[in-house]
Structure 1
């Protein structure tokens, strides 16, 4: 087999091995992202419940202030009633008191309703906060595991990069550039085997002339259909 072709086959295998780690890195990142997504959702729930409770507390505060004002108003009306001299004034004062009492009843009912809602929300908040705590611990553990996993992968990739660098230095520059140009669009299928007289990059059948050239292996042969570099695997040669 042509020396340059052998070198490109080896280089292609190293490139494939390097890129084969990418899915593992992506899978590791997905582990973290999955837990992070759950944590973000739980934290959003905590924030929403906290905000709702605070809003209700503000409403309760406003109703209590209204009750204070209405109580003062009723106390003032008691004093006014002693100074009333006509029936018309009495009716007006009585109507004012009735309205004030209705407002007080409504305020008390709303305070009771909002307090009940807050009790429920506080229970949900406690559960959500506990969930955030658990997910935070889980995320920390996953991050530690993933960091170790990625460090091992990066070490393996680094070893392969060293092998690639050593091999690339020994390959004729013209041949290496030729390979890199094909790899730009073909990726890790820049160098592919021929099986059953077909290119295993585009899966198109080769004509007899091209197939014979690939079998001889005297020169670098490109697929006439897609342009990939072709070779016959050792198993096929032995057969």
Structure 2
């Protein structure tokens, strides 16, 4: 195995170790994001409940104004009875009074209904606020855990990046450029072993001629099927 291939194999392993941190980072971020989503959903629910309470209180105020106006109307009707001269006028005043009483009954019923809504939703707010307090505490706890985890990952990645920089400084620039171009699309499978005469990047079998060249050649060879850099897998003989 030539020097350049050995260097690329080591570099490929190092790059894989660096990239292996990605799922760990994503898992930590998702864990925190789930807590944030739960917290935000509770905040949104509290806002919706508050909006219902505000609307109910506005309805109560509106019906109270109606009751005030109806009471004034009924008082005025009683005063008019003194000046009634005909049965027709008396009947009209009586109908107005009955209609006003019906409206008063409806307004009082609605006030009672809206106040029940306010009471019920106020209880929901209290429960939701307790849930929010717990969700905030959980978020802060997970945030601290994730922060510690990320700091550890960053430190470990930093060491690997330093090691990578040292290795790349020692590799021929043309060879490194060749590797990096393949890595753009092949990611951590830019350099792959050949096992049982098959490329372990695309898992396609090599023909006898290509395989023979791989065994004998000291040059860097790429898979004719996928273009990855190939190397022979070192076999350990069984006792």
**TM-score normalised over the length of structure 1:** 0.96
**Structure 1 residue 96 corresponds to structure 2 residue 96:** yes
Aligned partners of 1:2 and 1:217 also within 8 Å: no
Q: 1:21-53, CA deviations, whole angstroms, 9 ceiling, x for partnerless residues?
A: 000000000001111111111111111111001
Query: Which residue of 2 is the match for residue 28 of structure 1?
Result: 28
d(CA) in 2 for partners of 1:213 and 1:196? 15
Gaps of 5+ in 1: none
Query: Which residue of 1 is the match for residue 144 of structure 2?
Result: 144
My pick for the range that moved more, 110-119 or 186-195, is: 110-119
Query: Which residue of 1 is the match for residue 153 of structure 2?
Result: 153
Query: Which residue of 1 is the match for residue 2 of structure 2?
Result: 2
Q: How does 1:1-239 map to 2 (within 5 A)?
A: 1-216=1-216, 218-234=218-234, 236=235
The CA deviation at 1:72 is 1.1
Length, aligned pairs only: 238
The CA deviation at 1:213 is 3.1
- Root-mean-square deviation (CA, aligned residues, Å) is 1.3
SS of equivalent residue, structure 1 residue 227: coil
Gaps of 5+ in 2: none
d(CA) in 1 for partners of 2:123 and 2:148? 38
Q: 1:24 to 1:37 in 2, by over 3 A?
A: same
The CA deviation at 1:125 is 1.4
The CA deviation at 1:216 is 3.9
d(CA) in 2 for partners of 1:180 and 1:223? 16
The CA deviation at 1:217 is 5.8
d(CA) in 2 for partners of 1:169 and 1:238? 35
Q: 1:221 to 1:237 in 2, by over 3 A?
A: farther
d(CA) in 2 for partners of 1:238 and 1:160? 33
d(CA) in 1 for partners of 2:95 and 2:237? 110
d(CA) in 1 for partners of 2:219 and 2:154? 36
